[in-house]
A and B are shown apart, each in its own frame.
Chain A
């Protein structure tokens, strides 16, 4: 249990700092190894960036970074979602040298990343009108009083907007799950069954898409572009991992993989159903979600039964093999006897 919790904390820690630890027991490893190149490039780029000093007051993002920098990672688990919230808020990961300097800067300075986050947040309002495009980012920048040309800051264009939205939604979900977890621990709320918990978590997360559901296919197509796949996979795997963690999964064997794979499948298919769902309040989608979770639950039971049956079957097969071998030997023995008898008769 100790080993598991240390593993998890290390995982959170490294995810925040955008580094990759080659851990053997991580399915995120492949996505992260692909993302390693991106992370390394980003670190290099961030080192080249200058730290600006434009006077504009945004105290709260800076204080969350103080929290992020000062909170020791080995403290209780509830600190990690807050750290993740601070770290995951920005589409570009904060690099280490930036974090060092932010502690020294005054509270009324805003960094480039914070300004970019503000622009992207403002741009989300224009997504229903312009779609997930650079026009939406330009319109968002204009509401902040900046020129439309500042959308050139986002080299990935619409991809930055989509990834920012996903990171933000994931953070919101994690906060809600952490809140519920706290309440359960304080005894103020009832712990849910695993199936219900998963269902509620996926529904909450998918409901965040409702304002943008008409343009969501465009966002999905952007996420499937080759240069965006590492990032989108990373976000998806983090999301699924967090949901299972708060559902109480502490497995350390093959189940870790199967559970996350199952939930990834459920989440993706439900998202696709939601995109083409025209029923009232997406009721068809939630019914679909219920059925899929039920399938997984049934399969889990069946798997248990199959495992025990399987063992029995294997043993039966081995017994059969032994029997067959013995029968073979008996036959051979009999044949030798008959031959000898014939020989004695003829001889």
Chain B
């Protein structure tokens, strides 16, 4: 109820701004404050004039954000089910690979942008917890045959500082998404899984994150960056909120290299996926947008160049499933 009113208000405000800005080119940049987001949107110069792609359609930039919002609002409830159906469960492997390459150490802070239903964050927390358990098991095994010296010192001194250290270094994950519906679904999942500690849910725009500088160790954006209107702005924001030495990781659909596989993939994408969308989620258009937006996204090398231009170093990418998905990674040095 409140969400729909807020949406309506946002749309009215946006229309108002658009009429004002059609004559005056003004850039409004708000300071990082989450409550202002619904009121202030970042308009680039002459937003009404500049056009971008929405799938294979051409729309104005302001309109794209709104239409993307609508797409995800309508698919939010069936998002996870559709992911499994469309990728035949392989998306889980892609996300597991993202975590494996990330190899997070305990105590790390993760920002999961366009995190939506929280897949990456849940995996992150599991990974870190299992690592901590492994370390605890290793120390326990090492302590199983202590020498007389160690036994006597353990009686005299208090508990080892190392355990307290790992407790103090608790990892935290922040899920940030522009779409409240997706976050709602994610929160419900968290409750049903019983995950409560170390997880926060924040509404935010990837082009203008509501966080201070130098906050996070790892910034991930999984299957979200192709929906962002200005990808370079999102990359710049990523560089801003990352700590020095922090890592940017992006999982996104990309160009398939093998021509035979490309043909199969195209056929599957355009014939099967919208049909699945209609049958399972009752929404043909959203899934048509999905496959079209994949084709519009730049390929691996171009995206790597964009990441380097934003100021990240040691940029690499791994192709997963023959190029269907690419995992890009860069460091803020």
The reply to whether chain A is a binding partner of chain B is: yes
- A binding-site residues for B, Cβ under 8 Å: 48-50, 52, 54, 112, 115, 134-135, 138, 141, 144-153, 155, 157
B80 at the interface (CB under 8 A from A): no
Given A147-B244, A147-B247, the answer on whether A152 and B331 have CB atoms closer than 8 Å is yes
Q: Which residues of B contact A155 (CB under 8 A)?
A: 316
Report A118 CB to chain B, min CB distance, Å. 11
Contact B244 A152 (CB under 8 A): no
Nearest first, the 3 closest Cβ-Cβ pairs linking A and B are A146-B245, A150-B245, A147-B245
Q: Which of A48, A146, A149 contacts B108 (CB 8 A)?
A: A149
5 further A-B contacts with Cβ under 8 Å, apart from A48-B304, A148-B108, are A54-B313, A144-B245, A147-B217, A147-B243, A155-B316
B219 CB to nearest chain A CB (Å): 9
Provide the main secondary structure of the chain A interface. helix
B46 CB within 8 Å of chain A:
no
Contact A135:B245 (CB < 8 A) given known A50-B313, A112-B314? no
Q: Is B331 a contact partner of A148 (Cβ separation < 8 A)?
A: no
How many A-B contacts if CB must be within 8 Å?
Answer: 67
* Nearest chain B residue, comparing its CB with the CB of A45: B316
Tell yes or no: B209 within 8 A of A by CB: no
In the assembled complex, B34 has its CB within 8 A of some CB on chain A: no
Q: Which residue of B lies closest to A116 (CB)?
A: B314
Judge whether B105 is part of the interface by a CB distance below 8 angstroms. yes
In contact, B313 and A149 (Cβ under 8 angstroms): no
Which listed residue, B102, B107, B243, touches A152 by the CB 8 Å rule? B102
B103 with A152: CB separation less than 8 A: yes
A149 to B124, CA, bound (A): 13
Contacting residue for A149 out of B218, B304, B315, B316, CB 8 A = B218
CB distance from B311 to the nearest CB of A (A): 9
State how many angstroms separate the Cβ of B213 from the closest Cβ of chain A: 13
Query: What is the minimal beta-carbon distance from A151 to any residue of chain B, in angstroms?
Result: 7
> Are A145 and B244 also in contact (CB < 8 A) when A112-B333, A152-B101 are?
yes
A50 touches B243 (CB 8 A): no
For residue B203, give the distance in angstroms from its CB to the closest CB of chain A.
Answer: 25
Cα–Cα, bound, A54→B313 (Å): 10
Q: Any chain A CB within 8 A of the CB of B246? A: yes
Q: Give 23 pairs: A residue, B residue, CB < 8 Å, sorted on A.
A: A49-B313, A50-B308, A50-B313, A54-B313, A54-B333, A112-B314, A135-B105, A138-B105, A146-B243, A146-B333, A147-B108, A147-B243, A147-B244, A147-B247, A148-B107, A148-B245, A149-B217, A149-B218, A150-B246, A150-B247, A152-B103, A152-B331, A155-B316
Closest B residue to A54 by beta carbon equals B333
Contact between A146 and B315, CB atoms less than 8 A apart: no
Q: Counting CB contacts under 8 A, is B224 at the interface?
A: no
Contact B331 A50 (CB under 8 A): no
Chain A contacts for B108, CB-based, 8 A: 147-149
Q: Are B314 and A49 in contact (CB under 8 A)?
A: yes
Contact of A141 among B107, B245, B304 (CB under 8 A): B245
| Contact between chains at B246 and A147 (CB < 8 Å) | yes
Map CB proximity to A onto B226-248 as digits: 1 under 8 Å, 0 otherwise: 00000000000000001111110
Quick one: CB contact mask for B310-322 with A, threshold 8 Å, 1 for yes? 0001111000000
Are B103 and A146 interface neighbours, CB within 8 A? no
